[in-house]
Structure 1
Amino acid sequence: MSTTRDGAYPGQRIIVLEGTHNFRDMGGYQTADGRKVKYGIFFRSDELTGLTEQDLAAVQALNIKTIFDYRNDYEAQKKPDPVFAGAKNIRIAAIQADQASRINMSGDAGNADRNQRDIADMIKSGYFKQFRADTMMMEVYTKLPLGNPSYKRLIELIQHSDNLGLLHHCTAGKDRTGVGAALILLALGVPEQTVMEDYLLTNETMKAFNEKMLNQIAEHVNEAELKNIEHIFGVKEQFMEAVLGSIKKTYGNVDTYFSEEFGLTDQRREALQSMFLE
């Protein structure tokens, strides 16, 4: 795993930018048949609104043709995406607005102070005593891969090379983006264990920011509440396992899922793999 020192360029897994915490190239992962996902085709990130001028230039150099946003209207209006020359912006909400507000507490990287105030208000209201965060997250993840218009559009987009490079993102780049990234990698033939590794990498990229937020929150809650809140920060294996389990429970296996959920037949998957594997 490599990290850039002075800007974004293809061939690196983690791309360091001032205005994001979780910007990554999805290339380099090995598939079950020994090929590798090409670098410079698929990118994933947290929110983009905090990108600096230097960041914008670095992202522009990645030759991204499509920015795909999983956020809802409120999130996008509050933190609009930048517009890049030669790139189209597409946004289709992946989950309902109330769910987004619950899972995004660790994602407001651009304004940690305000995020802390928002969480403080939720603590005072007794919000974290009223629900189980782990149960809520499992419910969100179980529903995400099924009948989701956002992912249907994503899978449609990636089948056409003129839409790529593609950068997909949400607020923290961990849940909605994590599932979207998993679907892309699975469609390309990347094994589930490797898909899980890519998903869990968020815990490294967001580690410092999440620790800072949790330390601030710890001053205002008891231990039980803090444990509850921790489920919303970072990512956990059982969440992605819920996605895979939901797919297999509904369709039996991943191949049938792609064929019936997205019309991504074996032939279309082979064409996809021919374009984006090496």
Structure 2
Amino acid sequence: MRCIDVQRIIPFEGTNNFRDMGGYRTIDGRQVKYRLFYRSDELTGLTEKDLESLRALNIRTIFDYRDDYEAQKKPDPVIHDVINIRIPAIEAHQRPRMNVPSDSESDSSKNPFFIDLIKSGFFKSFRADTTMIDLYTKFPINNPSYKRLMATIQNTDNLGLLHHCTAGKDRTGVGAALILMALGVPESTVMEDYLLTNVTMKEFNRNLLDRLAEHADEAELQNIVLMLEIKEAYMDAALGSIKKTYGDYNTYFYEEFGLTKSKRETLQNMCLT
């Protein structure tokens, strides 16, 4: 894998994983335009200074993959002239298996959600690795959230688009992969963008694990790490699911999203330089 470009990371006081998806090269040698697609973790912590900087990014649409419960706990900011779209990318009964520290009723900075799970013995029997792979396998197939996403990006009036979930790693990771592949970005580069989350979230995850260490044994902590970090195997599961179901990406984009060859070329001409 090529050296990860950390320069695309946009620092905000209230987010950990906000970045521009522009600059990636496509198979035909073109480049994704900057300031069209952004990806992030939750936005509820954005400060006034952050919001001022956000307004300068020319964002017209905020696309949220979270469900009702998550969004009520940590609502997106309402920004003048920005369209907010929220279509859950995961079924509600699966949500507790995700990295959602915002579930806690109390101060989320102390992460009692994880502490409660540890005390209940959840992480002694829960297999994070197999659960995450199963989740990723299901993500790209017949998912109403990604169907809406792919319809949204075909309208130039909706761009720039910021899409996000809670940590900006799983639901957002797959959404970002679909956008980039629709634009003709190769798998290796898609994986590069995906794995950048392990860089952006490294400090946050380390601090969280330090706080949880007094409550969990080593095996439980390793299980939590598998939830917090991302693995190539997870994205491989999503991409493999597409190939197993449809055979190739062209068929997938056409049958899942109605992206004909003509529509895809139009999208690429709009978003590439």
Provide the TM-score with structure 2 as the length reference.
0.95
Which moved further from structure 2: 98-107 or 214-223?
98-107
Counterpart residue type for residue 164 of structure 2? H
Counterpart residue type for residue 49 of structure 2? Q
The gaps in structure 2 that reach 5 residues or longer are none
Alignment of 1:239-278 (within 5 A): 239-278=234-273
Q: Relative to 1, partners in 2 of residues 1:102 and 1:33: Cα closer, same or farther, differing over 3 Å?
A: same
Alignment of 1:28-107 (within 5 A): 28-105=23-100
Which moved further from structure 2: 140-149 or 89-98?
89-98
Alignment correspondent of 2:123: 128
Q: Relative to 1, partners in 2 of residues 1:91 and 1:145: Cα closer, same or farther, differing over 3 Å?
A: same
Alignment correspondent of 1:147: 142
**Among residues 177, 186, 189, which one is paired with 1:182 in the alignment?**
177
* C-alpha displacement of 1:130: 2.4
Q: Relative to 1, partners in 2 of residues 1:211 and 1:2: Cα closer, same or farther, differing over 3 Å?
A: closer
Q: Which has the higher contact order (CA 8 A, sep 6+)?
A: 2
For residues 258 and 2 of structure 1, the distance between their equivalents in structure 2, rounded to whole angstroms, comes to 29
Provide the TM-score with structure 1 as the length reference.
0.93
* C-alpha displacement of 1:105: 4.2
Please list the CA deviations of residues 47-80 of structure 1 after superposition, one character each: whole Å capped at 9, or x if unmatched.
Answer: 0000000000101111111100000000000011
**Among residues 106, 109, 116, which one is paired with 1:113 in the alignment?**
109
* C-alpha displacement of 1:238: 0.2
Please list the CA deviations of residues 127-179 of structure 1 after superposition, one character each: whole Å capped at 9, or x if unmatched.
Answer: 11222111111111000000000000000000110011000000000000000
Superposed CA RMSD: 1.5
For residues 107 and 207 of structure 1, the distance between their equivalents in structure 2, rounded to whole angstroms, comes to 18
The gaps in structure 1 that reach 5 residues or longer are 4-12
Which moved further from structure 2: 93-102 or 23-32?
93-102
For residues 107 and 192 of structure 1, the distance between their equivalents in structure 2, rounded to whole angstroms, comes to 32
For residues 16 and 244 of structure 2, the distance between their equivalents in structure 1, rounded to whole angstroms, comes to 34
* C-alpha displacement of 1:222: 1.6
For residues 59 and 189 of structure 2, the distance between their equivalents in structure 1, rounded to whole angstroms, comes to 24
Counterpart residue type for residue 217 of structure 1? L
The alignment of Structure 1 onto Structure 2 pairs a total of residues equal to: 267
For residues 137 and 106 of structure 1, the distance between their equivalents in structure 2, rounded to whole angstroms, comes to 17
Counterpart residue type for residue 76 of structure 1? A
For residues 179 and 107 of structure 1, the distance between their equivalents in structure 2, rounded to whole angstroms, comes to 21
* C-alpha displacement of 1:103: 1.3
For residues 36 and 109 of structure 2, the distance between their equivalents in structure 1, rounded to whole angstroms, comes to 35
* C-alpha displacement of 1:107: 7.2
* C-alpha displacement of 1:217: 1.5
